[in-house]
C-alpha cells in the first residue's frame, strides 16, 4: 500500500474523530499528515506554521461575521462606503428546498454562506436548463460541512448556515478576473490570479507582488498558467480596499472579481489555504512566513 494512500486513510480517520482532540494537538497531527513535517507552534517560522498559530491565538468574535458570505458584504460597505463593490443579494434561505426560484432571474449564483472555494457554489447561467437536483445536493452538503471541525478555522464554527442567491456577473476568465490579495500586518504583500476555475481542467494560480511582478513560485496543488497575465484593470483599487479591510489584522486574504467596468468584492478569509499549502520551491514557505510579524 502506497504512502499517499496511508496518508489519505489517516486523514479521513482524523477528520471523523476531530471532536476528540484539543485544537493544538489536532492541528499538529493534521499538519504531520498533510505537510509531512512537524508543526512548531512555539516558534512558527513558515507561513503555514504561522497560519496554524493564528487559528489558536488570534480570536476575535467579529471574525465570524467577516467570513459569513451574507454578513461580510455589510462590513465591506461599512468600511469602504462603496456600494459598487457589493454584488447584489437576491435572497437568503436556510435550506435549498426553501428557495423561491420564481423570484429569481434567468441567471444567478447560489452560495453556501459557510463554505469556501467552489464546493459551496452552484452557477445558473440559464434557469430553464439548471439542474436543481444536483445543485441542491451540492449546497445541502456544504451547509452541513463545518470548516472548524475539519481544519479548525474557528470563525466558521458559529455561522448560521444559509444559502444566498447573487446576481450573475458572467463567466470567469472571459467576463471577469478572479484575483486574491494577501495582506500581512495590514499591507498587501502579494496577490494571485485564478484561471480556469470552472474549465474542468483545474485551476491555475499565478502569484504577483503588489507591483504586478511575477513571483517565482507555485503551489503544488494549483500550478501556474505558464503565460503572462495582464495586470487587472482595478488592481490599485483592490490594494486600497484590501488594506482598508485588513487594518489592524495580522493576516487577511481579500478576494475580488474584476471587470473592465467594475470591481466587486468576493469574500474574505483569515487562513489562506488553511495553512496546508505546499510551495515549490519549498523555500517560499519560509520566505512568505518571514513577511508576517505575529507580534508575540
Does a structural domain hold residue 248? Answer: no
Does a structural domain hold residue 143? Answer: yes
Does a structural domain hold residue 97? Answer: yes
pLDDT at residue 4 tops 80: no
Among candidate residues 118, 217, 104, 228, the one with its CA nearest the CA of residue 172? 118
Give the pairing type, strands 263-269 and 163-167. unpaired
Spatial distance between the Cα atoms of 245 and 134, rounded to a whole number of angstroms = 35
Coil, helix or strand at residue 96: helix
Region of 205 on the Ramachandran plot (φ > 0 left; ψ -120 to 50 alpha; else beta): beta
Does a structural domain hold residue 138? Answer: yes
* 231 DSSP assignment: P
pLDDT at residue 9 tops 50: yes
Contact call for residues 179 and 258 (beta carbons, < 8 A): yes
User: What pLDDT digit, counting tens, does each position of 31-43 carry?
Assistant: 999 999 999 999 9
For the chain, give the number of residues: 296
- CATH code of the domain in which 157 resides: 3.30.1490
Contact call for residues 285 and 217 (beta carbons, < 8 A): no
Among the ranges given (36-45, 176-185, 190-199, 239-248), the one the predictor scored with the smallest mean pLDDT? 190-199
Give the pairing type, strands 218-219 and 163-167. unpaired
Query: Residue holding cell 512555539?
Result: 42
Does a structural domain hold residue 7? Answer: no
Q: What DSSP string describes 17-31?
A: TGGGS-HHHHHHHHH
Spatial distance between the Cα atoms of 172 and 39, rounded to a whole number of angstroms = 36
The secondary element (H helix, E strand) that includes residue 7 is: helix 3-16
Confidence tier at 1 by pLDDT (50, 70, 90): very low
Structural domain range at position 102: 86-169
With vertex at residue 88, the alpha carbon angle to CA 59 and CA 186, rounded to the nearest 5 degrees, is 35
Does a structural domain hold residue 204? Answer: no
pLDDT at residue 260 tops 50: yes
Does a structural domain hold residue 77? Answer: no
Count: domains in the chain: 1
User: What pLDDT digit, counting tens, does each position of 196-205 carry?
Assistant: 776 666 788 9
Amino acid at each position: 500500500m502506497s504512502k499517499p494512500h496511508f496518508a489519505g486513510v489517516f486523514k479521513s480517520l482524523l477528520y471523523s474523530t476531530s471532536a476528540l482532540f484539543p485544537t493544538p494537538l489536532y492541528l499538529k497531527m493534521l499538519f504531520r499528515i498533510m505537510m509531512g513535517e512537524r508543526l512548531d507552534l512555539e516558534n512558527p517560522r513558515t507561513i503555514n506554521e504561522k497560519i496554524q498559530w493564528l487559528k489558536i491565538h488570534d480570536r476575535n468574535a467579529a471574525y465570524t461575521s467577516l467570513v459569513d458570505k451574507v454578513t461580510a458584504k455589510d462590513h465591506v460597505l461599512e468600511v469602504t462606503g462603496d456600494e459598487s463593490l457589493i454584488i447584489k443579494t437576491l435572497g437568503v434561505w436556510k435550506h435549498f428546498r426553501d428557495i423561491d426560484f420564481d423570484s429569481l432571474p434567468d441567471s444567478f449564483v447560489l452560495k453556501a454562506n459557510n463554505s469556501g472555494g467552489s464546493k459551496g457554489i452552484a452557477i445558473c447561467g440559464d434557469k430553464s436548463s439548471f439542474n436543481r437536483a444536483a445543485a441542491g445536493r451540492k449546497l445541502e452538503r456544504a451547509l452541513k460541512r463545518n470548516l472548524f471541525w475539519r481544519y479548525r478555522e474557528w470563525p466558521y464554527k458559529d455561522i448560521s448556515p444559509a444559502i444566498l442567491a447573487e446576481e450573475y456577473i458572467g463567466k470567469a476568465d472571459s467576463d471577469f478576473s478572479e484575483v486574491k490579495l494577501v495582506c500581512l500586518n495590514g499591507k498587501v504583500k502579494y496577490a494571485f490570479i485564478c484561471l480556469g476555475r470552472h474549465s474542468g481542467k483545474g485551476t491555475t494560480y499565478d502569484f504577483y507582488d503588489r507591483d504586478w511582478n511575477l513571483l517565482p513560485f507555485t503551489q503544488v496543488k494549483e500550478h501556474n498558467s505558464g503565460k503572462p497575465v495582464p495586470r487587472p484593470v482595478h488592481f490599485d483599487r483592490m490594494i486600497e480596499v484590501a488594506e482598508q479591510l485588513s487594518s489592524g489584522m495580522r493576516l487577511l486574504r481579500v478576494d475580488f472579481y474584476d471587470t473592465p467596468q467594475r470591481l466587486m468584492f468576493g469574500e474574505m478569509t483569515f487562513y489562506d489555504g488553511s495553512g496546508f499549502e505546499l510551495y515549490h520551491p519549498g523555500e517560499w514557505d519560509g520566505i512568505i512566513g518571514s513577511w508576517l510579524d505575529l507580534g508575540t
